[in-house]
Chain A
Amino acid sequence: MRLRRRLTVVIAAAALCLVAACGSDDETAGRTEIKMWSHSAGNPTEVEVIDKIIAEFNASQSEYVVEAEYFPQRAYNDAIVAAATAGDLPCLIDMDGPVMPNWAWAEAIVPLDLPTELTDKFLPSAIGKWDGKIYSIGYWDAALSILARKSALDEAGIRIPTRAQPWTRDEFDQALATLKEGGYEYPIDMGVWDVGEWWAYAYSPLLQSFGGDLIDRDTYRQAEGALNGPEAVAFGEWFQSLFTRGYASRTPSIANADFINGDVAMAWTGNWNAPAAIEALKDDVVFLPPPDLGNGPKIGGASWQWGISANCDDKQGANDYIEFSLQDKYIADFVDATGNIPATQEAAAQVEAYKPGGRLEEMVDFSRDYAVIRPPTPAYAVITNVFERTLKDIVNGADVKSSLDRAVDQIDFNIKANDGYGF
């Protein structure tokens, strides 16, 4: 998943890293150093919480000292793949949920050693499993939702959907048509300005709600039938029509700005954009469940999680750090800072937005009820890359069926070339 970021923030965070987090101090001399990489540069509030956890971990014992290095998200996945190839990974890394199986399969990361009573408290989508073992764990998950201006919906006489009764596909289309007639040049911002993993994260749940999928989950050996079957084609044609019918712009502003500025009435985005929306629109912003496009509402699950690299010399220290960092208070801090969904109920109770009656309480339910994990297969690196390109082509008017057929060819070719990745 992606977090909102702005250029200035990236620069500010890089500077912060230079002066604060990346320096070392004298009192830690003589201890075993454990290096850590994170994708959080560009998100100063996240960096602040991680730095706090590290400082308290370093103070809590005298054997290890954790040193963090922050990367901008856009460059992070490339950086860790390159480091893994060079055998140069630091001990602790955070990984986007769906890439974890590839790493575990390649034996670039090792299973975590965490007590079951601790991991049982976590949201299932905050835990990364491969081959029955836990390889990664996150403080939070993220949820997609339709952010909407309540006043715009009320004015147009559109029913506010609920979890008990989400919009059907017809209702959703009708709502978009009504809003467009009501004067919105584009009623919804689908967020297509973004690149990379966002595409599979944000739009494959819509595909799944239609009844298609990225890969055949019975065998994990082919995309044929799942990604180019009738349901997938129906999804592609519907998705394309959002743009051809003028319901969504192909060049929206970045980071949810169109919604905040009132240029669109709704936005398909994640909870990480919720705090800014609440601040700008106060009570007028509502968080709607995704539409039921035929197969129930779906959202993406599994976000950034922590793991330990296989070439780490001090796996015990790294494991100690991860276990230490999983305390409810840190999860609560993290969630406070980012607006993401706390991985434990105990942490949720400590956070204003997520405790019972909080503005974002329902997001936890979205995550629990609707989350679909992206296919846990090493082929995912190819799947996400091909899906991004294919769906972009579809947005830009390509023939849906032949685009999807080509995507399936590429994915299946790769799976065959790798002997099915052991499935």
Chain B
Amino acid sequence: MTTTTAPTPEVPATVTAPRRRRGAPSPVRRAEQRSAWAMAAPALIGLLLFLGIPTLLAFGLSFTNARLISPSGPSFVGVENYTRAFSNDPTFVRSLLNTFYFAAVVVPVQSALGLGLAVLVNQKIRGVNIFRTIFFVPVVTSIVVVSILWTFLYQEDGLINSILGTLTGGAFTGQAWLQEPGTAMPAIIVLSMWQAVGFHMVIWLAGLQTIPAELYDAAKVDGATARDQFRYVTWPGLRPTLVFVAVTITIAALGLFVQIDVMTRGGPLDSTGTIIFHAVQQGFRQQEVGYGAAISLIFFVLVLAVSLLQRRLTREK
């Protein structure tokens, strides 16, 4: 899974230095501020150029009937594109539902799987690095390659069906996973989690390793079982990590595109189309860039709302 929207990095407007309470900032402080801005500048300029300006342009375009290539310029059509999306485009509504279906499954399951794997590879046993590497390899593999390979696996005469057939002694007769409306999205969910879970395993692992060993020692002295240790030491210590993992998985899940484009193209029967995929289809392949821009902006607002909600729910009391 690829992240399409990066969370805004926090700008270090002030560098932690001994602060003065009142009055004009000292020359030292001003110099520090300048260097802080200078250091943040490359990221800020990039954000403005590739996120800020395109978002503004999309906002403008979404109120026009602009086409990608056309002999006449765009004309203003008001909110027509937005009303069309919700009242006259069943594929858009379906894409919206599919996107939330995907996120609703992937966010909790992938977070939990990542944590499970992280706990497993956090043990002090020989060869643990080999396992860490194995779980991480799909992350560094191109998602396009992964999607093409899994398309083969999911075929009617593909590896998955032959494994299931062999395991059940031939009782399971193969089906084309990506061609049935009921199984296509679950099939994509499985492969997406397989591909991305290694990344979050590493984040969880980093979180686990920030928990001081003394806490575990103390818990052991108090007679805590392994389960108690997880419940009362590990889990509370992972809270900041949880927030990060949940937010990044959510944003990536809502931006689902590549797997759909490579494997199903939104089908069968609209069962896997997502908002981003629909925006690309309408705005780019069908060249109605005004409508595509409207869809993108709806998506933008959605992601923003979900992220804010998540932040509210998980903020430190």
Contacts and interface: CB of A to CB of B under 8 A. Distances in A.
Interface in A6-61: 7
Given A389-B266, A392-B265, A250 B179 contact: yes
Given A106-B71, A108-B69, A385-B286, A250 B265 contact: no
Contact of B267 (A107, A249, A389): A389
B155 A388 contact: no
- Which of B265, B287, B289: most chain A Cβ within 10 A? B287
Contacts of A85: 68-69, 289
Contacts of B267: 389, 392-393, 396
A396 B181 contact: yes
Given A249-B156, A250-B176, A251-B176, A389 B265 contact: yes
B70 interface: yes
B268 interface: yes
A330 to B, nearest CB: 30
Contacts of B69: 81, 84-85, 102-103, 106, 108
A398 B68 contact: no
A81 B71 contact: no
Interface string A88-122: 00000000000000110111100000000000000
Interface in A380-421: 381-382, 385-386, 388-389, 392-393, 395-398, 406, 413-414, 417-418
Nearest to B158: A251
A280 interface: no
Nearest to B66: A85
Interface string B248-287: 0000000000000000011111100000000001001111
Contacts, number: 76
Contacts of B287: 81, 102, 381-382
Contacts of B217: none
A393 B156 CA distance: 17
Contacts of A413: 88
B155 A81 contact: no
Contact of B268 (A388, A397, A418): A397
B271 to A, nearest CB: 9
Interface string B139-171: 000000000100000011110000000000000
Contact of A396 (B67, B268, B285): B268
Interface string B282-298: 00111111000000000
A193 to B, nearest CB: 9
B166 to A, nearest CB: 19
B228 interface: no
Nearest to A84: B69
B65 interface: yes
Nearest to A77: B285
A154 to B, nearest CB: 27
A195 interface: yes
Contacts of A396: 179-181, 267-269
Nearest to B88: A413
Interface of B is mostly: loop
A279 interface: no
Interface residues of A, number: 33
A78 interface: yes
Given A250-B179, A251-B156, A417 B266 contact: no
Interface residues of B, number: 31
A398 B269 contact: yes
Contacts of A103: 69
Nearest to B289: A85
A102 B281 CA distance: 17
Nearest to A78: B284
Contacts of B181: 396-397
B70 A106 contact: yes
A102 B287 CA distance: 10
Contacts of B268: 392-393, 395-398
Nearest to A258: B157
Contacts of B157: 251
Contact of A393 (B88, B269, B281): B269
B289 to A, nearest CB: 8
A195 B265 contact: yes
A163 B267 CA distance: 37
Given A107-B71, A249-B156, A385 B281 contact: yes
B97 to A, nearest CB: 17
B286 A84 contact: no
Nearest to A85: B68
B156 A250 contact: yes
Contacts of B269: 393, 396-398
B144 to A, nearest CB: 10
A107 B71 CA distance: 6
Contacts of A78: 284-285
B63 to A, nearest CB: 15
A195 B242 CA distance: 40
Nearest to A384: B285
Interface in A225-257: 249-251
A8 to B, nearest CB: 13
Interface in A344-400: 381-382, 385-386, 388-389, 392-393, 395-398
Contacts of B265: 195, 388-389, 392
Nearest to A403: B269
A393 B270 CA distance: 8
Nearest to A398: B269
A65 B228 CA distance: 75
B71 A105 contact: yes
A105 B71 CA distance: 7
Contacts of A82: 284
A398 B271 CA distance: 12
- Which of B158, B266, B286: most chain A Cβ within 10 A? B286
B156 A418 contact: no
23 contacts: A7-B148, A81-B68, A81-B69, A82-B284, A85-B69, A85-B289, A102-B69, A106-B67, A108-B69, A195-B265, A249-B156, A250-B179, A251-B156, A251-B157, A251-B158, A389-B267, A392-B268, A393-B267, A396-B180, A396-B268, A397-B269, A398-B268, A414-B288
Interface of A: 7, 78, 81-82, 84-85, 102-103, 105-108, 195, 249-251, 381-382, 385-386, 388-389, 392-393, 395-398, 406, 413-414, 417-418
Given A78-B284, A393-B267, A396-B180, 7 more contacts: A85-B289, A106-B70, A108-B69, A251-B155, A251-B157, A393-B270, A417-B65
Interface of B: 65, 67-71, 88, 90, 148, 155-158, 176, 178-181, 265-270, 281, 284-289
Closest 10 CB pairs of A and B: A396-B268, A106-B69, A251-B155, A382-B286, A392-B267, A250-B179, A251-B156, A251-B176, A84-B69, A107-B71
